[in-house]
Structure 1
Amino acid sequence: MPIKQSGKRLRVPWRKKLDENGLPLTLPTYMAYCAVAGALRPWNRLGAKTIVTLVTTDDFYFPLFAEAARYFSSQIWHPQRYHGNVLQCSDKNFRHEAEALRDERAILFASPSYQIQEDDRLLSDAVVSLGPRSARHAEAALRRAGLPITNESVELLLTEPWSRLSRAFQDRRDALQAIQRLRSLPKAIPPAASEAESPPSTPDPTLSDMHGFGSSLIEWGYDLAKDIADYKAGIIPWRDVENGVLISGPPGVGKTMFARVLANTCKVPIIYGSASRWQEAGALDEHLKAMRASFDESREKAPSILFIDEIDVFGNRGETDRHSAYMRAVITALLQLLDGFERRKGVVVLGACNYPDLLDSAIKRPGRLDRHIAVPLPDAAARRSILKRHSGVTLCSADYEVFDMATEGMSGADIERLVRDARRAARRQSERLNSLHILDNLRPLVKLPSAYVHSLAVHEAGHALVSHEVGYANVADIKISRWRVEGEYRALGCVEYDVGADRPRTRTFFENAIAVCLAGIAAEIEVFGSFSQGAAGDDAADLNRATELATAMVGAFGMGHTLAVEKFSPNAFARMRSSNPELRREIHNVLETELERAKSIIRLQRAAHQALVTRLVDVDQISGAEVAEIIRNHRRPTVSLAKPERRAAR
C-alpha cells in the first residue's frame, strides 16, 4: 500500500550534510529559515504551489530572510534549485507579479510600515505573520552547527541584529570563530529598541496620570496648580499661595516622581536639591554656599518648585553628638532661607523624607513646611494602574487576584522593577511583553488548601458577626485570600468596620473593641475547638491588639481597679505588663471576659455565622451591605449583647 509522505523529514535541512545539493546555509540563515518554515507550515508539501505574503516584525533583515526563503522554496516547493519570486512588497512590480503567476509560487515580505493593499490580498493565497526568532531557533542552529548550547551563545543569537549576524557568519568562516568575533566587539543596540523603551513623543505625565499617591496629596497638588495659575494671572498675591509642604513615606512610593509630576502640572520649572548633595560640596562654608545656590536658582526661575530630597538628614538641633555644632549651623541656615530676611517669593519648597519624626520641629512650623502629607504604599487598584502605566499590559480578572496578592506591600518602584524584569524575559524569548511575562516574574504564590480557606472564612466571619452585634455601624468588606506568598508572613483575611468617631472612649467602648478583636479566635474555638497561631505573634495580630487595648484601658486611662496610671506610651506597655504582675492579671481577666462574650455571641448566632462562612468560601469577598443582609436573614432574636454605655454618676 503506497505511503503518503510530506517533504519535511527528507527535505528540511536539519542536518548540515543536506546543504550539499542546495544553497549554502549559514547559522543565522538557518535561524531565519526556522521562522519562515514555521510560518509556511501549512504549505510544507513537496511541489506545493502557492503565493504567500509574510508580514514581518521590526526584527527583520531582508537579504538574510530572502536567502532562507529561497532555500525553503528550492527544497520543498521545487525539486530543482530555485532562486526567483522572493520579493519585498515595496519592490515588486508588474514583471514580478507576472513571474509569480507564471511559476505559481512566490514568497513576499511586507515590512510593518508597508500598508497591504487589496491587490496584494488578491494576489496572495494567504497573508501570514512571520514570528520572531526564538530560543528554540537559536538552540537548533547551534546544535546543527555542532556548537555547545550555552545561555551566552543563545542570548547572543537572540539580541544581535540580523545584519551583524549575517556579516559575522560567512561560508568561509567557522561558526565558532564568528561567535567569538561577535563577543569581542562592542554590543550593538538597535535604535528601534531604545525608541520603544522611551518613545520621545510621550507627553510629560501630570497628576491626572498618577496613581497610588493618595487622594489628599493629589488634591493638594491640584490646589497648588490652580493657585500658581491665579498668581501668574495677577488674581492673587504670592502670600495666598501655600509655599511649603513636607511629604513622607517609605522608600519607593514615588516622592521624587511626584515632585516632577507636580512641576509639570503647575507648568513651572523644578530645581532639585538634596541634603546629601549639598553636603558633598565640602566643608561647612561650601555646604552652605551650595544650599544658598539652589534657593537663588529657584528665585531666579520663579515661580518654581524647589524639591529638597532626604530632608530628614538634617535631623534636629537637640542632638548632642560630635557633629551637632555642624548640623545646628546647617539647620539655622536652612531656616533662614525658608523664611528669613529675604522672603522666597515665587518659590514653593517641597521637602521629602522617610522619617518625618527625625526632622527639627522648627522646620515644620507655620510659614515653613507646615503642611505634612504622608504618601502610603499603593493599594490594589493603584498597583494595577501603575502596572498598566509602565507596561501597557491589562491582566484578566483571574490574573489580577494573583497579582494583587503577590504585590501587596510593594511600592511603585517595586512594580516598575517587576515590569523591567518582565521586559527582559520577553526580550530573551523574542516575544512581545504580555501578561505571562508579568505573572512569571511575580513573587511565587502557594495556593491554600480548601480546609485552610474554610478556617480563614470562619475566623473573619466571626469578626464581622461580633462587630455587628456590639453595635458597630457600617461593617465594610470581608476579604479572604486563597493564596499566600511563599516564605512571607502576612494577614490572609481582613474585616473593615466603622467604630464611630463620635463615640465617647469609655470602658464599654474599649471592651467592645477587645471583644471584636477576639471574635476570630472565639469563632475558631466554637467551630474547631481551638484557635491557630496566626491570631498572635505580630503587632497587628488579633491577640496582640486586644492586649494593647486592655493595657491602655486599665494601665493608662484609669479604667481598671485603680486610678493610678502611667503615661500613655505604646512603646512602654510591654514594660508595664512585665514589671507589674497585678496589672498583668487584670489585663488577663479583661481578655478572658471579652473572649467569653465573643464566644457566646457566636453560639447564639451560629446560623448567621455559618451563612457568612459559606458565602465567603464561595466568593472570597462580601460587601458590607451583603454582610448586614445575611445577618438580618439568619439572626436569632435575642436580647442585645452590646454593652450599654455607662453614664458617669452625678
Structure 2
Amino acid sequence: MPKDHSGKRTRVPWRPTTGSRTSVTLPVYMAYCSIAAALRPWNKVERKAIVTLVFNDDYYRPVYSQAAQVFAREIWKSSDWETFIFEWSNKSFRDQSLADRNQRGIFLSPPLYQLTDDEVLFSDAVIEIGPRSRRHAEAALRRAGLPVEEKLVDLLISESWPRLYSAFQDRRGPLQALERLRRQQFPKPSQDEPKPQIADPSGPTLADMHGFGPALDWGYDLAKDLADYRSALIRWNDVDSGVLLSGPPGIGKTMFASALANTCRVPVIYGSVSRWQEAGSLDDHLKAMRASFTKAEKEAPSILFIDEVDTFSHRSHSDRNSGYLRGMVTGLLELLDGFVRREGVVVVAACNHPNLIDSAILRAGRLDRHLELTYPDGPSRLAILKYHAGFVLQGPDAEKFTFATDGFSGADIEQLVRGAKRAARRNAVDLGAVHVIEQLPTVAELPEDYFRALAVHEAGHAVVGFEIGHEIAGIEISRFRAVGQRRELGRVEYEPPGTRARTRTTYLNAIAVCLGGIAAEMEVFGAFADGASGSSHADLNRATEIATVIEGVTGMGHTLMVETLELEKLAKMRLYNTELRRQVHLLLQDELARTRSIIQRQRPALDALAERLMETCAMTGEEVIQVLQSNRRSVVSLAKTQLRTGT
C-alpha cells in the first residue's frame, strides 16, 4: 500500500546534496543541528508558525541566523533573497510587522535580552537552545567526510563561533579550514593584557550623547546596519564602515566611540597613533598597528577607534622623516582596504585637524565619511550636566549655568561636576545645584535698565526681520554677563533662506535687519549704546561691510564699477576712497531711516515682544511670531527700499 505522507519535508542538509540553493558550512551545520532538533514539531512543509529561539552564552548571530535560514527556506520554500529570520531587540517593530504579515518567522533572542510579555504572546512557541554538543560536532565531521577523532571534536567545541565562521568558508574545503584553525592558534591573553571593552549596558549610549547632531543619526543607522549584517540581511559592503570624527579637544570623540559601541552591542578596541609610535622603529610601529586591526577582526563585528589620526599627514611633505611618514600612511591604507578586506570592523577615527590628514586616507571605501563635532548648545549642556551630576537645573540656576558654560565641551562640564562633587564631600552633604553653581566662572547679573535695553534691542531685530519677510527661528537674551569678558548677550536666529538670486534689495534688507536693534533703542530711549559697534560682529560693523560691498564690489551702488571681494580690504577701500565712504554713509543713513519708520509703526509689537522676552529670556520662532501678529498694526508696507536720486 502507498504510504500516507505526513507532510514532513524530505530534503534536509544531513548530507551534502548537489544543486542545493544554500551551501552549509561545518559550523553552520552544527548550529543547524540544534535548531532542527528544537523545531522538530514544525518540520513540515508550508506549516505557518512564528517561533522564538532563546540563546544563552554560546551564541553567534551570523552562524545561527544562517542555520535558521537554511531550515526556514526548506520549510517555507522561499527564494534565496527572502528572509524569515529576525533578532529580538528594542527596535523590532518592523521585523515583527513583517513576520505577522507573512504568518511565519524565526526570532532569535540573544543572551541577556529579556523577552517582554507581548513578545512571548506574539510567538507560537518560545524554545531555549542549549550550547553546541559533542554529538553535533561528530555529526558535522561525518557529514564532511572527516574522521570522527577526539581532537577534532574538541577543536570544534572549544573554538569560538567567530573563528569557526571565519575559517570555514565556501571557497575552502573542511579539511583545509581545520588545518588553518590549528596553525592560527592564538595564545590566551594574560591577566595584564587589556581586554576589549565589550558593550556595557551600564555605560553611556547614544541616547546619553547630546549636541552631536548628524553624528547621532549616523550612529543609529550604523547600529541598525550591524544588526542586519549579523542577521545576514545585508552584506558587509552595505555597511558604512569608515568614518572620521573631527572637533576641538574635549568635545567627546572618545566617549562617542564608547557610546556607539554600547548602542551597537559590539566590542570597541582603542588605538592611537602615539601609542603605535611608542613601539619604536617603523617595523615595530606597523606591527603594533596591525595588532590593533587583528584584535578588532577577532572580535568582529567590532569598532576600532583610532585617535590622533591627523598625525598621518600628507606624504608630499619633504623632510628627514618623510620616509617614516610614507611607511606609516601606506601601512594604514593597506589595513583599511588592502588585499584582505576588514570585514566586520568599523573604523572610527578621530582628530582635531582634519585638513592635515593625507587625502588618500579619506577616499571612498576608507574614511570617506566626515562628521564634524561642535561645542554643545545650551540645552545639550544642561543634558550633559544631568548625565554627570544626576539632577536637572531649573529656573535661574539653569539660565546662569547655560550662560556661564557657553563654549564648554562635554569634558569641561564633566570636570566642573567633579569639582562640585569634591566640594559636596568636603562639607559631608549630598551633591546639589548650589555646588555646581559655585564652580561656574564668575558672572554678574545685569542691572534692570541694562537688561531692558538688551530686550528692546533684540526685539527690534525681530520686528524688522519679520516685517521684511525673514523667517524667525528663535530669540534669546541673558540676565548675566561674564566678568572680564566681552560676550554676546542676546541673539535672534533666522531660518536659512532658500536658494535665490541676491539683488540690491536683498543686501539692503540685510542692512535693515542689522540696524533694527539700533532703531529700537533710538525709538524707546532716544539713543543707542556702544554695544552695537566696535567688534567685527557688531551690528554697525556688519551693516557697514554690506554697504561697502553694495557700493564698491557688486556694481549695485552709484556706479557699475566693481572690485574683487576681499573682506580685509573693505576698510582700506573706505579709507582711501572718500567718494565711496560718502556713498556708504548715505546708504546707511537711508536704511536707518527706513528701519526707524518700521519700528515707529510697529511700536506696540516691539513693546509686547520686549516685555515677553524679559519674562522668559528665550522664545521659539512660533512664540515670537504669535506675539508680533497679535500686536502688529495693519499698515501699508514700508519695508520696501527707498529709491535714491542723484549722487
Q: Deviations over 1:255-298 (max 9, x none)?
A: 10000111111122222122222233333333333333322332
Counterpart residue identity of residue 631, structure 2: H
Query: CA contact under 8 A between 2:594 and 2:641: conserved in structure 1?
Result: no
Q: Deviations over 1:354-387 (max 9, x none)?
A: 2223333332222222211122222222222211
- SS of structure 1 residue aligned to 2:343: coil
Aligned to 1:437: 435
Counterpart residue identity of residue 538, structure 2: A
Aligned CA distance change for structure 1 residues 627 and 395 (closer, same or farther; 3 Å) = closer
Aligned CA distance change for structure 1 residues 362 and 522 (closer, same or farther; 3 Å) = farther
Aligned to 2:502: 505
Aligned pairs for 1:324-473 within 5 A: 324-473=322-471
CA distance in 1, matches of 2:228, 2:267: 17
- SS of structure 1 residue aligned to 2:269: strand
Aligned CA distance change for structure 1 residues 472 and 293 (closer, same or farther; 3 Å) = same
CA distance in 1, matches of 2:277, 2:626: 62
- SS of structure 2 residue aligned to 1:245: strand
CA drift at 1:339:
2.2
Q: 2:638 aligns with which of 636, 641, 644?
A: 641
Aligned to 2:612: 615
Aligned CA distance change for structure 1 residues 536 and 358 (closer, same or farther; 3 Å) = farther
Counterpart residue identity of residue 493, structure 1: G
CA distance in 1, matches of 2:403, 2:412: 14
Aligned to 1:527: 524
Query: Unmatched 5+ residue regions in structure 2?
Result: 1-199
Q: Identity percentage over the alignment?
A: 56
Farther off after superposition, 586-595 or 216-225: 586-595
User: Are positions 1:210 and 2:192 aligned together?
Assistant: no
User: Are positions 1:480 and 2:477 aligned together?
Assistant: yes
Query: CA contact under 8 A between 1:472 and 1:499: conserved in structure 2?
Result: no
User: Are positions 1:236 and 2:234 aligned together?
Assistant: yes
Which structure is larger by alpha-carbon Rg, 1 or 2?
1
CA distance in 2, matches of 1:286, 1:576: 58
Aligned CA distance change for structure 1 residues 309 and 467 (closer, same or farther; 3 Å) = same
Aligned CA distance change for structure 1 residues 375 and 584 (closer, same or farther; 3 Å) = farther
Aligned to 1:268: 266
CA distance in 2, matches of 1:204, 1:522: 53
CA drift at 1:573:
5.7
CA drift at 1:582:
6.5
User: Are positions 1:316 and 2:281 aligned together?
Assistant: no
Aligned CA distance change for structure 1 residues 644 and 456 (closer, same or farther; 3 Å) = closer
TM-score by length of 2: 0.63
CA distance in 2, matches of 1:244, 1:407: 33
User: Are positions 1:255 and 2:253 aligned together?
Assistant: yes
Aligned CA distance change for structure 1 residues 213 and 526 (closer, same or farther; 3 Å) = same
CA distance in 2, matches of 1:577, 1:330: 52
Query: CA contact under 8 A between 2:594 and 2:639: conserved in structure 1?
Result: no
Query: CA contact under 8 A between 2:378 and 2:406: conserved in structure 1?
Result: yes
CA drift at 1:455:
0.8
Counterpart residue identity of residue 348, structure 2: L
Aligned to 2:293: 295
CA drift at 1:533:
2.6
CA distance in 2, matches of 1:592, 1:321: 57
Counterpart residue identity of residue 600, structure 2: R
Aligned CA distance change for structure 1 residues 642 and 502 (closer, same or farther; 3 Å) = farther
CA distance in 2, matches of 1:645, 1:368: 56
CA distance in 2, matches of 1:370, 1:355: 16
- SS of structure 2 residue aligned to 1:222: helix
Aligned CA distance change for structure 1 residues 267 and 398 (closer, same or farther; 3 Å) = same
Aligned to 2:57: none
Q: 2:629 aligns with which of 596, 617, 632?
A: 632
CA distance in 1, matches of 2:604, 2:349: 55
Query: Paired residues, what number?
Result: 443
Aligned to 1:494: 491
- SS of structure 1 residue aligned to 2:494: coil
CA drift at 1:594:
2.8
CA drift at 1:349:
1.3
Query: Unmatched 5+ residue regions in structure 1?
Result: 1-200
CA drift at 1:493:
1.0
CA drift at 1:460:
0.3
- SS of structure 2 residue aligned to 1:306: strand
Instruction: Give the aligned CA root-mean-square deviation in angstroms.
Output: 2.9
CA distance in 1, matches of 2:575, 2:352: 33
Query: CA contact under 8 A between 1:308 and 1:349: conserved in structure 2?
Result: yes
CA distance in 1, matches of 2:349, 2:253: 9
CA distance in 2, matches of 1:629, 1:293: 61
